[in-house]
């Protein structure tokens, strides 16, 4: 399959691995953060880490939208689901994320709440049309990739005059999260493997200020193993040469300006929140999106007057530290024992983009048993 098979070629992978080993200075350590959870899973699925020299350390970042949502927002969604005459719609991964007291939307559903898994925002609109006597709330999460479809759903609801549809917006912004991590100085990061899907929307331009401010090279990469390895090689070369530039390995899908139509749709419907709470990162200014006053009738937070309260993570869970890049799943005492995909303690074990799920799913932790 074009753009798939050629990016999984074993011979090319071995050549890239040799190039990386040759160019990585043995007396230097390289801390490279793959921001996106999709890259984390690619690294573990294809065994990329095993092809790298020991002095290249891949650090897992906060680019998992399910993982970074704080417990308080999950609790708010559960509260909505228990409201009279409400159907709560959300993506599959969110159903199993534990809120307070290990209660999840899936458990709320088992207790009688009308919670439905959907595959797109359009599904939520259809459910609203089919259930005119009930309030349908779309529990919207995600980075810049999933925000345009939410904007389209709100615009379509306005066009159709759907009075029983609203959105609980939890959309967050990638550059703000990267800046929060770099600004904290907790994680020892020398370079960043930039996200793929997000960058198809926002382009490579937003990373330029970040690279200049923190003197940090960024290489945007696709999700195939050779994409990731090529990005690592490009980062190593930049660091060796003392450069801090934004480079685009994923040229087959990402441009400097991104998807201008998608950006326009988002700007029409959403505006910046002054601050938003992230799991692991705390309150980050200008990092989340809220629905504009023009479309306030479709804002579930206003329609249901949702209060918000911060909730501490489970004391045994290291998800927050993993999101910040200061710990790895194997540093968590409950990983793979008490905390498994069937019995998750934290969100990093739930999501298909979570670091703990990547370690567990592809069995990399077994070598350490």
- Give the pLDDT mean for 79-90: 96
Nearest CA among 100, 97, 40 for reference residue 344: 97
Q: What is the pLDDT of residue 40?
A: 93
- Give the CATH fold of the 71-172+258-303 domain: Rossmann fold (3.40.50)
The predicted-structure confidence for 222-270, as pLDDT tens digits, reads as follows: 999 999 999 999 999 999 999 999 999 999 999 999 999 999 999 999 9
- Give the pLDDT mean for 9-31: 94
Residue 316: pLDDT over 50 = yes
Q: What is the pLDDT of residue 186?
A: 87
Q: What is the pLDDT of residue 8?
A: 81
* Residue corresponding to tokens 């090689």: 233
Residue 9: pLDDT over 90 = no
Q: What is the pLDDT of residue 363?
A: 74
On whether the CB atoms of residues 65 and 198 are closer than 8 A, the answer is: no
Residue 368: pLDDT over 50 = no
Confidence of residue 369 (pLDDT cuts 50, 70, 90): very low
- Give the pLDDT mean for 332-359: 92
Cα separation, 203 vs 258, in Å, equals 4
Confidence of residue 365 (pLDDT cuts 50, 70, 90): low
**In the sheet where 86-90 sits, what is the strand order?**
114-117, 86-90, 135-142, 165-171
Q: What is the pLDDT of residue 364?
A: 54
Q: How many residues does the chain have?
A: 369
Residue 291: pLDDT over 60 = yes
What b/e sequence results for 335-361 when a residue is b if at least 16 CB atoms lie within 10 Å of its CB, and e otherwise?
bbeebebeebbbbbbbbbbbbbbbbbe
Q: What is the pLDDT of residue 187?
A: 86
**Worst-scoring range by mean pLDDT, 1-10, 242-251, 254-263, 348-357?**
1-10
Q: What is the pLDDT of residue 320?
A: 94
Residue 2: pLDDT over 70 = no
Q: What is the pLDDT of residue 367?
A: 46
Cα separation, 21 vs 233, in Å, equals 9
Which ranges of the chain does DSSP label H, i.e. alpha helix? 10-23, 37-45, 65-68, 71-81, 105-110, 121-130, 147-160, 174-184, 197-202, 206-214, 225-241, 260-269, 300-303, 319-323, 355-361
- CATH H superfamily, domain 5-65+174-248: HypD, alpha/beta domain 1 (3.40.50.11750)
Cα separation, 197 vs 222, in Å, equals 8
Residue 274: pLDDT over 60 = yes
Question: Domain limits of the chain?
Answer: 5-65+174-248, 71-172+258-303
Averaged pLDDT score across all residues of the chain: 93
Residue 191: pLDDT over 70 = yes
- Give the pLDDT mean for 5-23: 89
Q: Which residues are paired to 57 by β-bridges?
A: 31
- Give the pLDDT mean for 352-362: 91
- Give the pLDDT mean for 29-54: 93
What b/e sequence results for 171-181 when a residue is b if at least 16 CB atoms lie within 10 Å of its CB, and e otherwise?
bbbbbbbbbbb
On whether the CB atoms of residues 185 and 300 are closer than 8 A, the answer is: no
- Give the pLDDT mean for 313-325: 92
Q: Kindly tell me the sign of the dihedral angle through the C-alpha atoms of 195, 211, 16, 365.
A: negative
Q: What is the pLDDT of residue 307?
A: 85
Residue 3: pLDDT over 80 = no
The predicted-structure confidence for 135-184, as pLDDT tens digits, reads as follows: 999 999 999 999 999 999 999 999 999 999 999 999 999 999 999 998 88
To the question of pTM greater than 0.75 for the whole model, the response is yes
Domain 5-65+174-248 and domain 71-172+258-303, same fold? Reply is yes
Residue 66: pLDDT over 80 = yes
**Residue 10 neighbours by CB under 8 Å, 6+ apart:** none
Cα separation, 192 vs 210, in Å, equals 11
The predicted-structure confidence for 103-144, as pLDDT tens digits, reads as follows: 999 999 999 999 999 999 999 999 999 999 999 999 999 999
For the chain, give the percent of residues with pLDDT over 70: 97
* Residue corresponding to tokens 């940090």: 216
């Amino acid at each position: 399959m074009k753009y798939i098979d050629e990016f999984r070629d074993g011979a090319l992978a071995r050549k890239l691995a040799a190039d990386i080993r040759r160019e990585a200075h043995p007396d230097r350590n390289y801390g490279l953060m793959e921001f996106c959870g999709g890259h984390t899973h690619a690294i573990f699925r294809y065994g990329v880490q095993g092809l790298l020299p020991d002095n290249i350390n891949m650090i897992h970042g906060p680019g998992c939208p399910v993982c970074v949502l704080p417990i308080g927002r999950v609790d708010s969604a559960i509260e909505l689901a228990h409201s009279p005459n409400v159907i709560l719609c959300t993506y599959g991964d969110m159903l199993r994320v534990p809120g307070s007291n290990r209660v999840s939307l899936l458990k709320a559903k088992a207790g009688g709440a009308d919670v439905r898994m959907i595959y797109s925002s359009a599904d939520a609109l259809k459910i609203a049309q089919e259930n005119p006597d009930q309030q349908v709330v779309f529990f919207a999460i995600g980075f810049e990739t999933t925000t345009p479809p939410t904007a389209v759903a709100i615009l379509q609801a306005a066009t159709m005059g759907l009075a029983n549809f609203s959105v609980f917006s939890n959309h967050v912004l990638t550059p703000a999260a990267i800046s929060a991590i770099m600004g904290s100085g907790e994680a020892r990061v020398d370079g960043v493997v930039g996200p793929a899907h997000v960058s198809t929307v926002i382009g490579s331009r937003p990373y330029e200020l970040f690279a200049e401010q923190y003197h940090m090279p960024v290489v945007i990469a696709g999700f195939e193993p050779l994409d990731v390895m090529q990005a690592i090689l490009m980062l190593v070369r930049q660091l060796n040469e003392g450069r801090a530039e934004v480079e685009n390995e994923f040229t087959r899908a990402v441009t400097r300006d991104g998807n201008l139509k998608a950006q326009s749709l988002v700007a029409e419907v959403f505006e910046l929140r002054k601050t938003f709470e992230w799991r692991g990162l705390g309150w980050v200014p200008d990092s989340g999106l809220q629905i504009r006053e023009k479309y306030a009738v479709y804002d579930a937070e206003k329609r249901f007057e949702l209060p918000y309260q911060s909730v501490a993570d489970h004391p045994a869970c290291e998800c927050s530290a993993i999101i910040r890049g200061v710990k790895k799943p194997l540093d968590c005492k409950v990983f793979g024992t008490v905390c498994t995909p069937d019995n998750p303690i934290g969100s990093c074990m739930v999501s298909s983009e979570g670091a703990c799920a990547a370690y567990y799913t592809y069995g990399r932790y077994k070598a350490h048993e």
